[in-house]
């Protein structure tokens, strides 16, 4: 996977303090589409993503539809495996086992949450690490931790691209990540550290959070509390990445940051919506292309 850049020039998607996640995503998808075409020409097939969904969760259905549309946009094959809510764990494991050995499938994604009674960790661990395009498998998490080549987790990788779009170098900067989830907080802390940032990971038990935040050149808010971060947390000129997806008191979509309060103080900020959100599926596409290339090269080296 492409190394996280320490240096970057400000991209056209950044102007007037707003980091336009939709535009950054569109630029990356253009590159992925070109590379997918080149892959098809040399391999004889398109990169392929298998998406498994169990149950009737409305939000999950929307996510799956968006992923299928994104695959079509960049020229991937997208296969959906829709299972009933009463599917057994054994049936789901059997399906994943078949996808693992299917030579025409490059990436496998199991849409979470799964129905009650199914062990999500067991299902994630059953996915072949070389097809784990979500980067949830312990093998791929270990590679990330060790700095070895491999998949990058989708939302954290998108965050790094958004920071790069501002022209900000992570090297030597004080970076604060508020949140310690396995999906965002922990992995984005590792990516910032890999880019030579000085990283603090904070959480609900952190003492003196506001004082720590005011020293941060780069602040990633991934705590899941609507408008928790206001101007009093922000160092003037800081880059603020808002990962939150919440509803305010009026039912309006908002982030973890109070945008109106933070905007005058910060140097750059992602809006909600239109910031981090568009990047996650785009990074999933990039991981799928990486998986396709890796599997193809391995077969080629093996003489298959």
CB atoms within 10 A of CB 109: 23
Helix (H) or strand (E) holding 271: none
**Burial (0-12, 13-18, 19+ Cβ within 10 Å), 277:** buried
67: its two tokens: 């992923």
**N-to-C CA span, the chain:** 24
Instruction: Read off the DSSP letter of residue 264.
Output: T
Tell me the three state secondary structure of residue 8: coil
For residues 102 and 111, the answer to whether their CB atoms sit within 8 Å is no
**Burial (0-12, 13-18, 19+ Cβ within 10 Å), 104:** exposed
Quote the Cα angle for 157-149-122, to 5°. 75
Residues annotated as catalytic are 67, 111, 134
Q: How many whole angstroms separate alpha carbon 213 and alpha carbon 144?
A: 26
Q: How many whole angstroms separate alpha carbon 202 and alpha carbon 186?
A: 10
């Amino acid at each position: 996977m492409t190394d996280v850049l320490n240096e970057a020039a400000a991209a056209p998607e950044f102007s007037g303090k707003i980091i336009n996640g939709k535009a950054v995503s569109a630029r990356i998808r253009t590159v992925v589409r070109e590379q997918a075409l080149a892959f098809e020409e040399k391999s004889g097939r398109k990169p392929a993503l298998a998406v498994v969904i169990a149950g009737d969760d409305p939000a999950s259905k929307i996510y799956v539809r968006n992923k299928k549309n994104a695959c079509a946009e960049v020229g991937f094959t997208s296969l959906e495996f829709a299972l009933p809510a009463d599917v057994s764990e054994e049936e789901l494991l059997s399906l994943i086992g078949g996808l693992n050995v299917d030579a025409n499938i490059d990436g496998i994604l199991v849409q979470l949450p799964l129905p009650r009674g199914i062990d999500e960790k067991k299902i994630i661990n059953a996915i072949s690490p070389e097809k784990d395009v979500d980067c949830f498998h312990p093998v791929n998490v270990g590679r990330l931790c060790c700095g070895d080549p491999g998949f990058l987790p989708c939302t954290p990788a998108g965050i790094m691209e958004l920071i790069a779009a501002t022209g900000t170098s992570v090297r030597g900067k004080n970076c604060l990540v508020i949140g310690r989830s396995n999906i965002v907080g922990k992995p984005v802390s590792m990516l910032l550290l890999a880019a030579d940032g000085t990283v603090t990971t904070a959480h609900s038990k952190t003492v003196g959070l506001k004082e720590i935040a005011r020293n941060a050149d780069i602040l990633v808010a991934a705590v899941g509390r609507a408008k928790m971060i206001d101007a009093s947390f922000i160092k003037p000129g800081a880059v603020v990445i808002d990962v939150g997806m919440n509803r305010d008191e009026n039912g309006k979509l908002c982030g973890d940051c109070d945008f109106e309060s933070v905007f005058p103080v910060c140097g750059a900020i992602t809006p909600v919506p239109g910031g981090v959100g568009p990047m996650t599926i785009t990074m999933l596409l990039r991981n799928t292309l990486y998986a396709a290339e890796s599997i193809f090269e391995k077969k080629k080296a093996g003489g298959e």
